Amino acid sequence: MNFLERLFGKRSSAETAKQRLQLVLVHDRAEIPPGVLALIKDDIIAVISRRVNIDREHVVVNVTHEDKASKLVVDIPLLSGTDGQAPGRSGSNAQRSTRRTPSASS
């Protein structure tokens, strides 16, 4: 990294290499291509939001790798019941879920 790159806070190429590797290896190890994960995320959003109000923008779908086992970890922030009427007859479900994960309510 030269002086100017450092001055402007540009990330070193080794750092970029490491981050890119860590990301791609998560998918390689789980044998799920990144594009498929994006599709799974869309499916999950569609299914869940039929019942409860969720914060679609902040849904995270990830594969984690621990001790040779892969896990699909899904994090879906709920919108509290007052933010909007949940579709269908699931308003009460949404509130129950919100109470269980207080940090997710806005």
Partner 1 sequence: MEEKVITVTSGKGGVGKTTTTANIGAALALLGKKVVVLDGDIGLRNLDIVMGLENRIVYDVVDYVEGRCRLRQALIRDKRAPELYLLPTAQTRDKTAINPEQMVQVCDELRKEFDYIIIDSPAGIEQGFQNALAPADRVLVVTNPEVSSVRDADRVIGLVESHEKGPVQLIINRLIPARVKKQEMLSTQDIMDVLSTEIIGIVPEDEAILSSSNRGTPVVFNGKSPAAIAYRDIARRLIGENVPLTQPQTTSWWQRLLGKTE
> Which residues contact partner 1 by CB under 8 A?
1, 12-15, 17-18, 20-22, 24-25, 28-29, 68
For residue 3, the minimal CB distance to partner 1 (Å) is 11
For residue 25, the minimal CB distance to partner 1 (Å) is 5
For residue 36, the minimal CB distance to partner 1 (Å) is 18
3-state SS string over the chain? Answer: CCHHHHHCCCCCHHHHHHHHHHHHHHHHHHCCCHHHHHHHHHHHHHHHHCCCCECHHHCEEEEEEECCEEEEEEECCECCHHHCCCCCCCHHHHHHHHHHCHHHCC
Q: Which is nearer to partner 1, 58 or 71 (CB)?
A: 71
Q: Which is nearer to partner 1, 41 or 65 (CB)?
A: 65
